Amino acid sequence: MKTLTALIAITASLAVIPASNALAAWTELGANDAMSVSVDVDTLSRNGDKAQIMSMLDLKKPGANPKTKQVVNSLIGLNEYNCSNTTYRPITYKEFSENKGAGKVVSDNQTPDSQFEPVVNGSWTAGVYNVACKAK
């Protein structure tokens, strides 16, 4: 595994998300009946107890944006993890009309001031947390 240098890197530029989905080296972490979860380990960055990494949720059944009701089939986002207390927060994320970050951008959400929330065992955030915080 390459040296991990970015975790949904807030400072790795919010502008990376629009162009990076086609170029990203996605590694699938797992899947369930609802979705598959992948990360781009090349985006992992760590600063003390905090880590950021880009992740992708690829939905198996289409969802809908709650405001516009447009179809959403995947989400790509930059999340920050506090490794010492097992919490995370979204920094930015985009919803896409097609799977694997393809198609039309349904929404572009900048949330740099979002609050940290607990990482729940068995959730997609737990899988990403393990990559971001436990990787050497």
What's the whole-model pTM score?
A: 0.81
CA distance 114 to 69: 23
Residue 31 CA: distances (Å) to CA of 28, 35, 74, 82, 121 = 8, 6, 13, 24, 15
The pLDDT confidence band at residue 8, using thresholds 50, 70 and 90, is very low
Q: Residue 112 in contact with residue 92, Cβ under 8 Å?
A: yes
Those residues whose C-beta lies under 8 Å from the C-beta of residue 104, and which sit 6 or more positions away, are 96, 97, 98
Domain residue extents for the chain: 16-134
pLDDT band at 52 (very low <50, low <70, confident <90, very high): very high
Position 136 confidence tier, pLDDT thresholds 50, 70, 90: low
Size (the chain), residues: 136
Q: What is the pLDDT of residues 101-115, one digit of tens each?
A: 999 999 999 999 999
d(CA 65, CA 49): 33
Residue with the two structure tokens 């905090």: 50
Residue 23: pLDDT band with limits 50, 70, 90: low
pLDDT band at 12 (very low <50, low <70, confident <90, very high): very low
Provide the CATH number for the domain formed by 16-134 in this structure.
2.40.128.710
